[in-house]
Amino acid sequence: MWKWIQAFASPQNFYRISKKIIPWFLYPFIALTLVGLYWGLVIAPIDYQQGESYRIMFVHVPAAWMSMFIYIVLAVSGGIGLIWQIKLANVVAKVSAPIGASFTFLALVTGAVWGKPMWGTWWVWDARLTSELILLFLYLAYMSLGNAFDNPKTASKASSVLAIVGLINIPIIHYSVTWWNTLHQGASVSSVEKIAAPAIHPDMLMPLILMSISFKLLYGALMLMRARDEVLIREQNMRWVKNVIMEDGK
């Protein structure tokens, strides 16, 4: 297993293998998204308190989950690149940042749209909302710091340290509704017990799970696509890259 991981971590092998993997992420993403949205927007029952407005949950909640998940991937990848000097780990961290920032922005926007009819305002300085906004700033700071240096190695080291320090915000986001008295509702699916006996109707839970899986598949596809381009840029002086360019030009 370790030998396979080492082989895959080679930029040349990664570029070749990732091309075959991308469709396995992309096509299931499309299928699950169509099923999840139809189930959530059409089949799922109307909420007895929030009416139809709650249906934005099927985009908002998975996007919020992804914002935290991708940041963890980013920080862990950056740490691996920092400690073991694995080139591909730094690539994964770098290309994950704009994807994670996009999911974070989507979570904030859909949260504002959902909050307007529920709270009567687009934004409140609630613990959950504020910590999620800080997460967006961490993504932006990571990208800005990475672009502040001409040397890719120096940029990777500096941005990786920032990402690792920023990990402290993830548990704050997750537990904010428990630690503080907030307007944001508590988690309905956050533990093994709640997954076994969730606080929401099964026809609401299933599209939520499907959309969560589809967003992870989308991240996988986008990350691999962007990583392939980044690998070519970083390895542009290598012979195998020149061979790839010549083959694509035929």
Rama region for 238: left / alpha / beta (φ>0; ψ in -120 to 50; rest): beta
In angstroms, how far apart are the furthest CA atoms of the chain? 63
Query: What is the pLDDT at residue 250?
Result: 55
In 3D space, the residue among 57, 171, 177 whose CA is nearest the CA of residue 128 turns out to be 177
Amino acid residing at 132: E
In 3D space, the residue among 168, 159, 23 whose CA is nearest the CA of residue 90 turns out to be 159
User: Euclidean distance between the first and final Cα of the chain, in Å?
Assistant: 36
Query: What number is the average pLDDT over the span 241-248?
Result: 80
Whether the predicted pLDDT of 191 surpasses 50: no
Query: What is the pLDDT at residue 102?
Result: 98
The model's confidence at residue 142, banded by pLDDT at 50, 70 and 90, is very high
Asked if residue 217 lies in contact with residue 28, where contact means CB atoms within 8 angstroms, the answer is yes
pTM, two decimal places: 0.92
Asked if residue 14 lies in contact with residue 8, where contact means CB atoms within 8 angstroms, the answer is yes
Whether the predicted pLDDT of 161 surpasses 50: yes
Whether the predicted pLDDT of 46 surpasses 50: yes
Q: Supply φ then ψ for residue 188, to 5 degrees.
A: -95, -25
The model's confidence at residue 119, banded by pLDDT at 50, 70 and 90, is confident
3-state secondary structure of 200: coil
The model's confidence at residue 1, banded by pLDDT at 50, 70 and 90, is low
Query: What is the pLDDT at residue 247?
Result: 77
